[in-house]
Structure 1
């Protein structure tokens, strides 16, 4: 009767081709696994007596490479030899063998020679054969059942030359890369430590396993008794805490090795599932976790090459999550508890910097973000959708209230609904205002440090650089705020100078007057010139913003000059503040400022100029201002402009500028109805305030 004839060449051609180093090494992994099985068959419970050696020469040359895998296992006796000669044999089915691993050899290597010594009923025998890719004759014996009483039992397989370009491209060419992938593939077996000794000789450089991996473990293995995952049956886990080198070559730090029939099939990064950033054990820090998972469900669902599971990614994720939950609760409870406390502290620090995300209690918010979340970005990414939903729900509720007012009959509980809605709006605004206060606090702290640094560095090389930095922090230098393409002009902190300037765009910072004025103007560059009253200083002709006509002449302009903190010398005539300011005014009064869009705005002849100089009143400047009036706080100086100019020049001390800004920030805090009681969110106050800058607050009623 006719039978089906196997086409080995076609079968090998259809095998999945390697696309990375791990897959390129798969044929060698198959050979090593076969040697492990042979050792187990011979020594059974004394498998520790087994020895496997792997010798690799000419690793960097795909054409010349030679790999010799030797073991002292049971050898290819009659039954095992027949199984070797049978494709898809079920000889090793009990161990998960599919009988196709050696087909990968044919796909990868040009030449394969097998030599084996084994016991028979008549004594010890030896056989040698070539294994070739051919449809008619794959096994070509050169020695068959030859007596070999003097030889040791075991099998040696020699592989020479990589056959296909796919294997030539992906097979590791460096010793460290080879060892990295070899260790990663068998690490679960090595961690278990109950297998044979394996020696890897890479062009004379020897590495011994499992000792090389055992040296990386810290403490005893952690075992989880058999536990059930709903829908997947029973599993067991053996966990190891290892030094970081154990994860070299693997994706991530913490690993979960999924085994089938005692062999690693897939290793999955579980950093996010474990959550713990670094483990600590036996006084060693920065350790990593490796868990080895076994279960009948996995044994029954591995592919024929034992390179992957016949399971969806969703299923593998479910199994991994369930196993890691067991690891957290059973194997590493102390480390996880410490991590949870640190994570809570990180979250509270996050909310202190970004109060708008503190719209629910800490426990609720932490449950909404992934367990591995510990950074500001990770917390924000997990909470932003809840923040959006919360705001949308509030807006929907308000819209419902508005629509209810159009109904013929208003609900009886309408008053309470309005009260609740108002509370929700207030809570939302308080959080937003808290965010505003915190951001300004950081800005003011930086400003103070800059001023202090400039004073202490007086006369040093970085003096000028720091002075420019101070100016640029308050408002970027060399820009016009009305230039829509000048993005950096929007990142100013002009509220420090005057709260009304928080959103102004009509200013010129360190720009020449001849570049600002439509006609005339000199190369003089005021530190800061502001002119658009609608955004900066209020409305000229009307209290209604919409009534502003930009063609009307400007009747209020602000000029700000910054003098270096700590400066004591003002010797020249041009250093006289009044001379410097009136030089600017002479060019501005009656002139036309040309905005970036070419719109011209005339400066009225009766324009009021608010001129401010920010400086330390010491040295020459103190003498220069000795006949000026003092300001209300007794620290600054002020003088009205004379003759044809209207307005004033006010000299503000740097510390007063900062203190006033601190006070306004505190006023914002109080206006929001925030109480100072929680040590996770700090706000800033001036040093002489009755409340310290370090005192904390939280939204009232939270």
Structure 2
């Protein structure tokens, strides 16, 4: 009992165990599998008139074989294997004493052609009030009455639910028994209101929405497949095939491991779960004495060497596939549509898959469950892409190839190149959309300057600490992506000899030429980028180029600049500076640009200026123009490789 872990939410386990015991007891008594199980619910008294009430007692009555000596000895033995032949674990009755104060058992059974009665009370303390006698009324029938009484308060706190909800919980757990034992009547009764729910009727009218029996032959043996659609799963999974013998489930398999099936099926505008039950006179006769396996019947994908017996794998799968053909066809169509849409809109660099028959077949082989998850679908597409690349590499490395194979290889290389380019272009497209989404106001506020800065280039980083794909300098100028060195939001005193603590947003060393001094390198070109907060109207730092001119003077006064490895580079006397100012072209900004003698270009969307004293070219680019130009450049690429924009 101490080792038995029953969660507070598992309070119905004792009921499940008792009802299953009743099914098994009736099966053991009568091969015709006919009988009655009655479940009675008694609730604790409540002072509230509308209170449903917590469970106090549950009674389970059946007309099964009863507690004969064999069953009683098994009941008294911890971890018995008496019911292992029908899947029992031998600890079910321990849940009775765990959740309830005690269980009172009254049972009639036949012994030496006499009907006997056995009575006892079972609790965590053991057995009490044991009685055994021969009944005076020898016309009495066998059966058992289990009374689970005084539900422990920690469990009963979760038990105040309506009888219909209890019925639903019970049907979920015993669905296989209800399906295979239609002659065993199960009634659930609320004693307080005398409400009665017949689980058989409820199960087959409300729980099971559609069922149909089909006949098939496997090597001249007749089998029946009952196809069932239910509103809830009849087992832990869906698409389960239950192999039955003598009205019991002997084995089960997950069909969707072998047949591509949807998780649910849309029937009459309701999502239902599928399962099937395979029965046959052959299976009834072939089941082992323990009823845990079949002696000759097998369900194997491939016959093993030396394997003999009746293999139902291909015939059963064929029959299920034929029955579910319309649903499977829908799944393939849905899957194809989902993949096409995902590739077209999200990953167009995989478009080349459709140019190759082998690739199209691999797309069809992706499981439906992975197609509906974008992350899993992407991984599957990457696997196909990687496999194609590896195959192409192998062909390239072959010493001798035919002209036809050379043509194949060239086409394959062209496709993978387009794939990589397309992926890059899509990444750019998403980045442009991100930048565009940050323009304008959100909740009456503009984005911070740092947000825009980090989109273009991560703050506090330099070109040696991040890779090419971690920055987006191409939005400003494609050439900046190939700068020799670059620093983002780093104080000037850290990259040159100066006491200035000012921090340009972005500083780049564009190129350098070797001087006669081998220990130094002369830098002849630099780029500085200044990013303004979107929507900014108030500028206290003077003209738009004032701050940039201060940076230029500091750099020229230092005469040298440090590299990442603290190597020192000198500045050419005529070093050229290209300076970008990026911000919103507000009315205030226009006035400042005009006052600073900037000239307009591109229909007033761009302003430029040249400062001959510092050999510095200045260009103001609005965020909207930055986005517009980036879109135009990307659009040309998308058209060239036939991507969907």
Q: Is 1:445 the equivalent of 2:428?
A: no
**Whole-angstrom distance in 1 between the partners of 2:624 and 2:483:** 24
Of residues 439, 454, 464 in structure 2, which corresponds to 1:472?
A: 454
Write the deviation string for residues 485-520 of structure 1: whole angstroms up to 9, x where unpaired.
Answer: x78x96222211122334669433334434444532
Structure 1 residue 432 displacement after superposition: 1.6
Q: Is 1:354 the equivalent of 2:347?
A: yes
Structure 1 residue 428 displacement after superposition: 1.6
Q: Is 1:276 the equivalent of 2:258?
A: no
Q: Is 1:630 the equivalent of 2:607?
A: no
Partner of 1:425: 413
Structure 1 residue 33 displacement after superposition: 2.2
Kindly report which structure 2 residues correspond to 1:208-357, keeping only aligned pairs within 5 A, or say none. 209-211=199-201, 213-214=203-204, 216-217=206-207, 219-226=209-216, 228=218, 236-243=224-231, 246-247=232-233, 251-252=236-237, 255-264=240-249, 275-284=261-270, 286-294=271-279, 300=286, 304=290, 315=300, 325-326=317-318, 329-352=321-344, 353-357=346-350
Change (3 A) 1:423 1:37: closer
Kindly report which structure 2 residues correspond to 1:686-697, keeping only aligned pairs within 5 A, or say none. none
Partner of 1:395: 393
Aligned with 2:370: secondary structure? coil
Aligned with 1:617: secondary structure? coil
Count of aligned positions: 589
Partner of 2:445: 462
Partner of 1:540: 512
Structure 1 residue 606 displacement after superposition: 2.7
Write the deviation string for residues 66-105 of structure 1: whole angstroms up to 9, x where unpaired.
Answer: 875311x2655xxx95875899xxxxxxxx9959969667
Aligned with 1:393: secondary structure? helix
Partner of 1:69: 60
Structure that is richer in strand per residue:
2
Structure 1 residue 608 displacement after superposition: 1.2
**Whole-angstrom distance in 2 between the partners of 1:516 and 1:550:** 18
Write the deviation string for residues 151-181 of structure 1: whole angstroms up to 9, x where unpaired.
Answer: 676432467999xxxxx9xx99965999887
**Whole-angstrom distance in 2 between the partners of 1:383 and 1:597:** 41
**Whole-angstrom distance in 2 between the partners of 1:472 and 1:647:** 26
Partner of 1:127: 117
**Whole-angstrom distance in 2 between the partners of 1:100 and 1:668:** 64
Partner of 1:435: 423
Structure 1 residue 17 displacement after superposition: 9.7
Question: Does the Cα contact within 8 Å between 1:39 and 1:50 map onto a contact in 2?
Answer: no
Question: Does the Cα contact within 8 Å between 1:590 and 1:604 map onto a contact in 2?
Answer: no
Partner of 2:508: 530
Question: Does the Cα contact within 8 Å between 2:513 and 2:524 map onto a contact in 1?
Answer: no
Change (3 A) 1:327 1:419: closer
Which TM-score applies when normalising by structure 2? 0.73
**Whole-angstrom distance in 2 between the partners of 1:179 and 1:50:** 16
Aligned with 1:360: secondary structure? helix
Partner of 1:536: none
Write the deviation string for residues 9-36 of structure 1: whole angstroms up to 9, x where unpaired.
Answer: xxxxxxx999997999886465222344
Question: Does the Cα contact within 8 Å between 1:101 and 1:305 map onto a contact in 2?
Answer: no
Question: Does the Cα contact within 8 Å between 1:113 and 1:158 map onto a contact in 2?
Answer: yes
Change (3 A) 1:288 1:107: closer
**Whole-angstrom distance in 2 between the partners of 1:224 and 1:330:** 11
Aligned with 1:614: secondary structure? strand
Further displaced range: 650-659 or 593-602: 593-602
The unaligned stretches of length 5 or more in structure 1 are 1-15, 59-64, 88-95, 133-139, 163-167, 405-410, 534-538, 684-702
Further displaced range: 152-161 or 587-596: 152-161
Change (3 A) 1:323 1:581: farther
Question: Does the Cα contact within 8 Å between 1:475 and 1:492 map onto a contact in 2?
Answer: yes
Partner of 2:144: 155
Q: Is 1:577 the equivalent of 2:544?
A: yes
Partner of 2:48: none
Write the deviation string for residues 108-138 of structure 1: whole angstroms up to 9, x where unpaired.
Answer: 778987544579999x955225699xxxxxx
CA RMSD of aligned residues (A): 5.3
**Whole-angstrom distance in 1 between the partners of 2:424 and 2:252:** 46
Aligned with 2:582: secondary structure? strand
Q: Is 1:558 the equivalent of 2:527?
A: yes
**Whole-angstrom distance in 1 between the partners of 2:505 and 2:137:** 101
Q: Is 1:372 the equivalent of 2:369?
A: yes
Write the deviation string for residues 358-378 of structure 1: whole angstroms up to 9, x where unpaired.
Answer: 443374232332243313333
Write the deviation string for residues 214-270 of structure 1: whole angstroms up to 9, x where unpaired.
Answer: 464363313343354x9x987543233333xx239x645555445443224566666
Change (3 A) 1:618 1:103: closer
Partner of 1:609: 577
**Whole-angstrom distance in 2 between the partners of 1:554 and 1:491:** 25
Structure 1 residue 339 displacement after superposition: 2.5
**Whole-angstrom distance in 2 between the partners of 1:211 and 1:599:** 87
Change (3 A) 1:219 1:161: closer
Change (3 A) 1:382 1:637: closer
Change (3 A) 1:557 1:99: closer
**Whole-angstrom distance in 2 between the partners of 1:233 and 1:23:** 40
Partner of 2:27: 37
Question: Does the Cα contact within 8 Å between 2:22 and 2:64 map onto a contact in 1?
Answer: no
Change (3 A) 1:234 1:471: farther
The unaligned stretches of length 5 or more in structure 2 are 45-55, 75-82, 123-129, 304-310
Which TM-score applies when normalising by structure 1? 0.67
Write the deviation string for residues 203-224 of structure 1: whole angstroms up to 9, x where unpaired.
Answer: 9898752355446436331334
Write the deviation string for residues 411-431 of structure 1: whole angstroms up to 9, x where unpaired.
Answer: 8x5x66544433322122112
